């Protein structure tokens, strides 16, 4: 089934080449179906690669899936352009009152850092 993701997300071109059906908000709004709403807190260093991998997996659902990428406002990633985050990620404070069917938290190997150095 189609995955509803933000327009211009870098993963779109890769997924289209793999024949994975993604749709934008305009097309999704014309569907007479309630999508499965998933929030993704992506803590991986290579966010764009992780986004593509997650969308690829979620596209195997028989349901229409709508994805919101979430960021923690107190953490600035080192490996992802800030412009990418500003365009495709919502701050947690903007969605904390929304209802989702699922919440995916990806991880980074924070267990290798002293507790005091983990800021999210």
Written as six digits, the tokens of 22 are 């993604």
Each residue of 24-72: pLDDT tens digit?
666 666 666 778 899 999 888 888 889 888 888 888 777 788 889 998 8
The whole model's pTM is what? 0.70
Containing structural domain, residue 33: 3-117
What is the rounded CA–CA span in Å between residue 6 and residue 112?
33
> What total number of domains does the chain contain?
1
* Domain harbouring 45, CATH code: 3.40.50.880
Each residue of 76-85: pLDDT tens digit?
788 888 898 8
**Which stretch of DSSP H or E encloses residue 48?**
helix 47-58
Site of tokens 């992506």: 42
DSSP 62: S
């Amino acid at each position: 089934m189609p995955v509803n993701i933000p327009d211009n997300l870098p993963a779109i071109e890769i997924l289209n080449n793999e024949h994975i059906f993604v749709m934008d908000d305009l097309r999704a709004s014309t569907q007479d179906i309630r999508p499965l709403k998933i929030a993704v807190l992506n803590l991986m260093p290579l966010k764009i690669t992780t986004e593509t991998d997650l969308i690829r997996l979620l596209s195997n659902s028989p349901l229409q899936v709508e994805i919101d990428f979430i960021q923690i406002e107190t953490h600035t990633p080192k490996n992802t352009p800030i412009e990418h985050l500003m365009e495709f990620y919502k701050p947690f404070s903007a969605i904390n009152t929304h209802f989702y069917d699922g919440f995916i938290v990806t991880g980074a190997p924070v267990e290798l850092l002293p507790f005091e150095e983990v800021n999210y």
